Structures are given as C-alpha cells and as structure tokens.
Chain A
Amino acid sequence: MTQEFWRWTESRWTAGDRDWKSAKTITAGVDVGSVSSQAVILIDGGLYAYSNMRTGSSSPESAINAMNWALEGTGLSLDQIQYTVGTGYGRVNVPFSNRAVTEIACHGLGAHFLYGPTVRTVLDMGGQDCKVIRTDGQGKVTNFLMNDKCAAGTGRGLEVFADLLGVSINEIGELSLKVEENPPAVSSTCVVFAKTEASGLLREGWSKEKVLAAYCAAMSHRVVTLLNRIGVEPDFAITGGIAKNIGIVSRIEKELQIQALTSKYDTQIAGALGAALLAKALWEKGK
C-alpha cells in the first residue's frame, strides 16, 4: 500500500457549553464539495456542532456521513433539526435538505460569522476551485470571481505535489518556509507542466523544501492575480483547506501586504456554516 500523502486531517467539534434541549431553533447546513464535505448544526443561531470529512464517491452518502458525524454524541437526531440547507457542488444530492443554495452566498455568510462583520474580502481555496468573494457588513455577497476550470491554485494541485515529493499535504506549508532564501516561483501555470518542471528541479539537486517554496510561491501568485482582478478590500480572510497551509497564507499576505484574519474554528466549514445560517433565516420566515 502506497502512503496517502494527499490525506488531510478530518475534524469534528461540539460546543461544550451549549445544550440543544432548551433551544428554540435547531438548523443545519451541509456542504458537499468535490473533495471534502461538512455539516454544521446551529442552535438559536449559535454554533453547536460541526464535522469536516472527505467526500466519498456518492454525494448523498457523503452528506449523510458528515451529518451523522456532527450529530455523534450530542443526543440530537436528524429529525429534530427543523431546517437544513445544502450547498456545494453536490448540494442537490443532500437527501435530507429542505433547500439547496449556491456556495458563493453561503461562503459570504459563513465568513461573516467566522471572522466577524469587518470582513469584506473572502478568498476560498477549496479542493477543486478557488473563489474570491466580496461582501458587505452583513455577509451579503456584492461581487465574486471564481476559477473552477483549472487545478492551479486549488487543493488538487497541492495533492499532486504532495504525491510527487512524498510529503504529507499537512506539512507542505511548514516545509516550504524552511528555506534560507526564497527561490524563483515555478513558472508553469498548469499543474501538469509544473510537475514536470518540479521533477527537473529535483534532478538539478533542489531540496524538497526548495521545490515546495517555489510551488507555494507560484500558487500564491496565481490567487493574488485572481484577488487583484476583483480588488481586495480589508478586512481579508481565507477559508477552505488551503487556509491551513501557512506557506501559502504567509506568501499571499506578503504579496498583498495585508494580514488575513484568523478563526479558532476549522476554516473548511465556512460554506456549511453559511448554509446553516440561511436555514435559520428560512425556517423563521416560513413559520
């Protein structure tokens, strides 16, 4: 069995200080992405529990698995959730959802909750896409830009490099900062060509760290180009799996000369969290 270098760490969380039994509203959001799926449960609009796990080959199953994992140990059951919104690439395949909403709207709301009302620009770096979302003070989307055509600047591109170098995807960021001097960025945009280029650099005697530094720099540059096309207004935040990669985040911050806000919660839940917030609004409207 070959080692699965691409495998990232799944997560689960429950609020220790909240009790759903006294709650007036219990709503949920499920984000079924191409690579990861999340379920978020809110009680009275406050974060109660979430899960973040790998998407399997079936969207409905992935949605159910994520939801079951979020519910685990809470004593809460699926039928007690009053309203559920599905989002993400598999949003129409969430069997227990009341409604499907596009991920752009959900990410705006989710980021607003995670990072506070000062956030105006959200960069979401996901498994197979990358989006820039501009929001107002209420988390409403005012403009957005998306790349879902090309693996450059996405988690999938990072996975290719994790495999090539035999480095766990969780360690790429740290390792990429362990260079005395930053090498020039990998020049190819296309991940396929970048891989060929990186193989050549390894043969020239470059260390793994140096190759990773060159690739993280290329990736950061790529998303900064996307960011600049729409304009960055502070405060700025990064969501999605790559927000956990310090090598890419620090390079984006340096290139933009803006610090990104941080959150104590998993950065991958933004979409599902926004969906859960919408679910609450929709439930209250429908009553």
Chain B
Amino acid sequence: MGKFIAVRRRSRAEQLRLEALPYEDRRLRIMQEVPETTRSEALQRIGLQKVEPEERAPDEENKFQRLGYAGVYVVETHDADKAQQAREVLEPEYHIMPDIDMGLPWATQSHVYERRPRRDSYWPEESGVAEARARGITGKGVLVGILDTGCDADHLELRDKEIDFCYVPLKPTPEAVRTVRGFDDTNGHGTHVTSIVAGKNVGVAPGVDLMVASVIESETVKTSLERVIVALDWMLSQFQLDSNADKATILNLSLGFRQDWIEVTQIESVLDGMKLLLSTLVVDFDVLPVVAIGNDGPGTVRAPGYFPECLSVGAVGFDLEPAWFSSSGLSPVTGEPEPDIAGYGVRVLAALERDAQRRSLYAEKSGTSMATPYVTGIAALVAAANPGLQGARLRQHLLDHALRLDGVGERVGAGLARFT
C-alpha cells in the first residue's frame, strides 16, 4: 500500500465564507480548525501510530502524521486493510491522494547565467536559423500556441513581445479564466520553452504571434483535461479574428503523461480525451501539434506524442548525436517508430526567470521539452516562408527536408528539423 495523503476538503460554501473574511480573520479561522482529535483517535484505533510533526518518524510500519495547519494527514502502512479503514475514516472530509515520488526532473544541475552569454549564433548553421534571419524570416504571421506552466512575460527575452496569455485554473469557470499579462511561472519550464520558440535573442522564430496558456500548476505539476480543453478552446477562438483566420498554427506541447501517475479509472479518459482533442485540432482546424516524445531513453514513448496526429520530437545534442535520455520506440497506437523528427535538446540556452533584482536569468536545460520548441520554431519559419503551407502539409515538409542523421537508427526519426 505504502503512503497516502489526505487533504482537508472544504465545501464550496465553507470556502466562500473563508474567502469573504479579512486575511487575519481567515488565518484565525484556519487555526481554529486545527484542534481535531476524533479522526486521530479513530486512526489510532485502527492500529496506526501517531507521529508528532517535530518527532523523528519511528520505524513502525503503520503510522500517520497530522499536519494540522495544513489540514493534512499523511498515512503510511503496508497493511491493505488498515489503509482502507484509514481511508474510510478520512474520506468524508478529506481528499485522498497517493504520495508518489514526483520524479520530476527539476533542472538543478543546469547552468544558470545572470547575463545572457554572448554568442555569434545560438543555433548551429545546419539548423538554417541564421539563413532564415538573413532572409528576414522570423515566423511573422504564424500563430504558435504553448500549453505549459505559464511564462514570465517580463523577462528580457519576451518583454518586447505582445503575448496573448491565458491562465486556466483548476475550476475553469468563465470568471476564473483570466487573460492577463504572463506572470505565472514559478517553475520556469514554460518560460524556457517559450523563449526557445520566440525569445528576442535566443529564440528560433522571434516574430511569431504567441499564445501562451498556463494550464499546469508549477508546484504540483498537475493539470486536467478540462483545463487543457478550455485553453485550446481559447486558442482556437483566435480564429474568429479575420486576421487570424488563415494563419498557419502550431501547438507546442513539451509534456506527456505517465500512466502510473494517473488514476487507473482515468487513464482511458485521458488518452481518449487527448485523441479527441488532437483529432479536432488537426482535422477541423489544420493545426500542427508538435509534441515531446519523452525522456525515458530507447524503448519507451509517451502519450500524447505517440498519437499519429502529432509531430513527435526526440532530442539530439549540438554534436548531432541522439541524447541519451531521448525516448524512442514503437507507438502503441500505430505500431510506427517514434519520434518523427529531432531537435536540439541538450544544454539549450534560454530564458529561466527574473531574480529579486529583476535581472533576467538564463539557463541551459536539456530534454525533449527543449527539443520540441526548437522544432516548433523551425516549423514557424518554414510556414512563414511558404504561405499557405500548414497542418499536415507543413508536417510532411518538415519530414521531407530534415537533415538525415546517419547511423542512429530510428532514434531521431527523419532527422534534425531545419529551415531550408
């Protein structure tokens, strides 16, 4: 069984009453909720040992900790019956969630720069980025949508751009969905991705029209199908503007799902929901979804990248060798090899965040998350240079004109995406 966490759930009415209070009173009310012995006693009766917050956890296998101010119980037991009984004690008022190791690859070892390192070019010659720049092609007139943790729109790389930004909360009521200036990215992942596509200096296609939707909580790294759908609906609503009606549109998804992170009863929902989304985007609206294939190395590919509607992206280094982490293998949907194409995804320099002195920080990060916005940027350059080329035809053009990489088998698909 292992460990699970129970978080106190307030009813909508309770929540509204709490939110209506001034801050100090609200804190007082929360403090008043702290004394609670009934459930602790019930858990002890089941045979779970109570551990006080400051106490060193005993070696005892069956134990729980109550974090009163946070309204949380942490229950740990390998006895399935005890776990089920504890769940029954807590479930009426607590939201139960598994305590799963995040495994989220935080970029602690990436190089962080307080100033942008000066380089003649941030992208190698074979990418064609410099050639596009010399021809005045920057992706202007192409719409790029990014679903991620948000972006820091005041970072030096992005502050001169007009970015359509939408924050989609967990309960996306019309009042709660906010179209505001981009601010919401304590994670830094979305800012890095966005600046690889369209950063003023480090971006592949700085001229694109950006639509950034924050649909992933930076701290929990959680989202929901509803958030994704509401965000995509917002993006597609831009087609109602005459000026956008025929623009090539590319969707960047530097993310994927792990089936063991999703409730068993939900896996089919998530996969079917994503399939439905992708089908509508591609078939009805001619959008090109560019999606990371994952960081699990050879043998494992991740959804939604392996769906046939997506252009799935693996990572190579600047030496054009496949990155050790870059996923590859057969799509469980089509049986075809993935990824479709590759982008630079090792030690890619891009925007990170701003520090307390408002300096714009940069970081080198690695991952198929970074390779994907590179490919998105290249797709935008190609679409800008070839008006009318979009959707499936744009996808095919990228595959046909990729730089073939010899001797690396199917780890990089058609090869390195490039502007030609």
**Do A and B assemble together?**
no
